[in-house]
Amino acid sequence: MTAVAPRAEGTGASLTTSKRTDVLENRPVNLDGFVEEWPEKGLVAMESDFDPQPSVRVEDGRIVELDGRTRDQFDFMDTFIADHAIDVDTCESAMATESVEIARMLVDPRTSRADVVAVGRSLTPAKILDVVKLMNVVEIMMGIQKTRSRRTPANQAHSTSAKDNPIQVAADAAEGAVRGFAELETTLGVVRYAPLVAIGLQVGGQVGRGGVLTQCALEEATELDLGMRGITAYAETISIYGTESVFVDGDDTPWSKAFLASAYASRGIKMRFTSGTGSEVQMGNAEGRSMLYLEIRCILMAKGAGVQGLQNGSISCIGVPGAVPGGIRAVAAENLVASWMDLECASGNDQSFSHSAMRRTSRLLPQMLPGTDFVCSGYSAVPNKDNMFAGSNLDTDDYDDWNTIQRDMQVDGGLRHVREDVILQVRNKAARAMQALFVELDLPPITDEEVEAATYANSSDDYPDRDVLADLEGARSVMERGITGIDLVRFLERAGFGDVAENYLQVLRQRVSGDLLQTAAVLTGDFTPLAAINDANDYAGPGTGYRLTGERWEELKKLRHVTSAENPEEEVV
């Protein structure tokens, strides 16, 4: 049985729909899933009668009522938020401010970022929801433009392989880094491959552009282990949830996650949490709240834990808000709230979302146009079929489109067009560095044929197969021998890749200074930390804040094919 009438086959007498309808039926957007709202189950983006009304009450310097619940009724999210996230001294007066007044502060350039952030520190989740519900998507973008923490926008890539091939990951990391990504992330099909793939990501990244930061998304304890060894530079896959029941299903609590945040900082390792609309309803326990209300609870939990940043924007659950009315507006609103709460925001656009190219593009504009700390928290720097995060909203096929949109709109999405010879050179060098390093580490050899393949490859199909069992044995021995980042630096230097070794050492040295622990920190090409302290967003209306001008704008005017004005027969290189 199907719920819809069968479609007519062919043409002629049996035609039951118009030819135009046939055309529309076959448009990619109609392969996407859409569903009615079901507020009782939390299948609603941000407008639900089942969300609580804002309220707060303070007694003896302690919040005793939050959004209609008294302390004896608090679940652990309420308790954590009341005790850690909200400024108690100012919350009653801030909560008395009309929501529309606060919404105007977010939009109006004459209100400074500092002032609107200060108000935000004193609000409850339901009040924050009440404010952003008043804002349309353009106003939300205005708010993101003003409240994002770092002045200069950036971007993050996924570099993974369907075969967990470390040489592929290294070559694609090198290309991604030279194209402009400030952070690179990998994950695995076969988890035991992790050490070799994480090494590939780090080495390739440092070949492409010194100072790129890398991470390997794994189970919490393993991820921390790779970080402590200095094989990765930061961590992000520290998931939090908006209801107590789902948080517990994830085998964590706000206190365990807050402890973990401090553990990373205690090793000098940058870290951010991950959350997003739709995760609670997808995991079957939204407790009848809207997706955005629950996400705002996550954002406040992250703030209360003192973690510097958050990856949000539905992330791997984008199909859920994407299916309901106003869902993509809610996703933009969650990025706004993370930014407003003064957290680094890596703003999604990192998961396969739609069959429609138009829809994929419209979904990314609320982050790309105002600029966020990381427009994508995972632009696939490999073809999506090699993306082990189950595919991203953007992949390598979209590089030229992305660069063209940057040029059309004069916005900085963090990438640039790079000449073919430069790309081939860094891909080749990354593969050769891995080849030399594998010899030093006594790992299964990387052949010249593999290096050649890596130089010119598009996907994992273009590489010779590796001996997976031998590689896994090698990966095990890397862990057992206690290989660390400093060993890799020494081996790279000894193998004749001194510049790559130097770049890697510079990244490791950052741990000693702790500079990358500050909000929204990245490393520039000359290894200067750039964070929301020395590059604080100073947007205050037209003519202020980050503007795409000067050398960077000249760089972004370049595309694969631009005709010379002087000689229309020639292209500009």
- Told to judge if 115 belongs to the known catalytic residues of this protein, a careful annotator would answer no
Q: Please list, in sequence order, all residues whose beta carbon lies within 8 angstroms of the beta carbon of residue 490, skipping any fewer than 6 positions away.
A: 501
Binders of other proteins among residues 291 to 330 (CB under 8 A) are 303-308
- Output 17 or 266, the one with its CB closest to other proteins: 266
Least separation, in Å, of the C-beta of 533 and other proteins?
A: 4
Least separation, in Å, of the C-beta of 459 and other proteins?
A: 36
The reply to whether 261 sits near other proteins by the rule CB under 8 A is yes
Instruction: Kindly report the length of the chain.
Output: 573
- Told to judge if 156 belongs to the known catalytic residues of this protein, a careful annotator would answer yes
Least separation, in Å, of the C-beta of 78 and other proteins?
A: 10
**How deeply is 215 buried, as exposed, middle or buried, from its count of CB atoms within 10 A (0-12, 13-18, 19+)?**
buried
Stretch that binds other proteins, among 114-122, 287-295, 463-471, 540-548 (CB under 8 A): 114-122
| Interface residue with other proteins, options 66, 157, 235, 258 (CB under 8 A) | 258
CA 358 to chain centre: 21
CA 459 to chain centre: 22
Q: What is the number of helices (H) and of strands (E) in the chain?
A: 24, 13
Stretch that binds other proteins, among 96-104, 265-273, 278-286, 400-408 (CB under 8 A): 265-273
Q: Please list, in sequence order, all residues whose beta carbon lies within 8 angstroms of the beta carbon of residue 483, skipping any fewer than 6 positions away.
A: 195, 229, 231, 441
Do residues 180 and 152 touch, judged by C-beta distance below 8 A?
Answer: no
Stretch that binds other proteins, among 15-23, 29-37, 227-235, 392-400 (CB under 8 A): 227-235
Q: How far apart are CA 360 and CA 352, in angstroms?
A: 9
Burial 139-167 (b: 16+ CB within 10 A, else e): bbbbbbbbbbbbbbbbbbbbbbbbbbbbb
| Interface residue with other proteins, options 498, 538, 549, 570 (CB under 8 A) | 498
The reply to whether 484 sits near other proteins by the rule CB under 8 A is yes
Do residues 342 and 307 touch, judged by C-beta distance below 8 A?
Answer: no
The reply to whether 262 sits near other proteins by the rule CB under 8 A is yes
The reply to whether 255 sits near other proteins by the rule CB under 8 A is yes
Active-site residue identified among 130, 164, 183, 185: 185
| Interface residue with other proteins, options 21, 256, 362, 410 (CB under 8 A) | 256
The reply to whether 221 sits near other proteins by the rule CB under 8 A is yes
**Total residues binding other proteins (CB under 8 A):** 73
Least separation, in Å, of the C-beta of 66 and other proteins?
A: 14
- Told to judge if 561 belongs to the known catalytic residues of this protein, a careful annotator would answer no
Q: What is the DSSP string of 470-539?
A: HHHHHHHHHHHTT--HHHHHHHHHHTT-HHHHHHHHHHHHHHHHTGGGSTT-EE-TTS-EE-TTTTB---
- What does DSSP assign to residue 9? P
| Interface residue with other proteins, options 136, 513, 563, 564 (CB under 8 A) | 513
Dihedral sign for Cα 208, 211, 213, 214, please: positive
Binders of other proteins among residues 352 to 411 (CB under 8 A) are none
The reply to whether 440 sits near other proteins by the rule CB under 8 A is no
Stretch that binds other proteins, among 189-197, 240-248, 317-325, 389-397 (CB under 8 A): 240-248
Least separation, in Å, of the C-beta of 19 and other proteins?
A: 54
The reply to whether 225 sits near other proteins by the rule CB under 8 A is yes
Do residues 73 and 108 touch, judged by C-beta distance below 8 A?
Answer: no
Q: How far apart are CA 333 and CA 49, in angstroms?
A: 18
Q: Please list, in sequence order, all residues whose beta carbon lies within 8 angstroms of the beta carbon of residue 503, skipping any fewer than 6 positions away.
A: 206, 207, 210, 211
Binding mask of the shown chain, residues 133 to 152, with x at each position contacting other proteins by CB under 8 A = --------------------
The reply to whether 8 sits near other proteins by the rule CB under 8 A is no
Burial 465-481 (b: 16+ CB within 10 A, else e): ebeeeebbebbeebbee
Based on C-alpha coordinates, what's the Rg of the chain? 24
Count of other CB atoms within 10 angstroms of residue 549: 10
Residue 193 in 3-state DSSP? Answer: helix
| Interface residue with other proteins, options 280, 342, 350, 471 (CB under 8 A) | 342
Active-site residue identified among 244, 280, 342, 350: 350
Least separation, in Å, of the C-beta of 40 and other proteins?
A: 24
Active-site residue identified among 51, 145, 158, 351: 158
Active-site residue identified among 51, 130, 172, 236: 236
Least separation, in Å, of the C-beta of 74 and other proteins?
A: 9
Count of other CB atoms within 10 angstroms of residue 27: 12
- Told to judge if 377 belongs to the known catalytic residues of this protein, a careful annotator would answer yes
Question: Nearest Cα to 48, choosing from 247, 244, 348, 280?
Answer: 280
- What does DSSP assign to residue 121? T
Stretch that binds other proteins, among 11-19, 126-134, 191-199, 503-511 (CB under 8 A): 503-511
Least separation, in Å, of the C-beta of 547 and other proteins?
A: 22
The reply to whether 198 sits near other proteins by the rule CB under 8 A is no
Least separation, in Å, of the C-beta of 303 and other proteins?
A: 6
Least separation, in Å, of the C-beta of 5 and other proteins?
A: 42
Beta bridge partners of 186: 216
Binding mask of the shown chain, residues 52 to 81, with x at each position contacting other proteins by CB under 8 A = -----------------------xx--xx-
Active-site residue identified among 311, 352, 392, 435: 311
| Interface residue with other proteins, options 37, 220, 373, 450 (CB under 8 A) | 220
Active-site residue identified among 99, 122, 149, 156: 156
| Interface residue with other proteins, options 45, 66, 224, 500 (CB under 8 A) | 224
> Which residue numbers are catalytic?
156, 158, 185, 236, 311, 350, 377
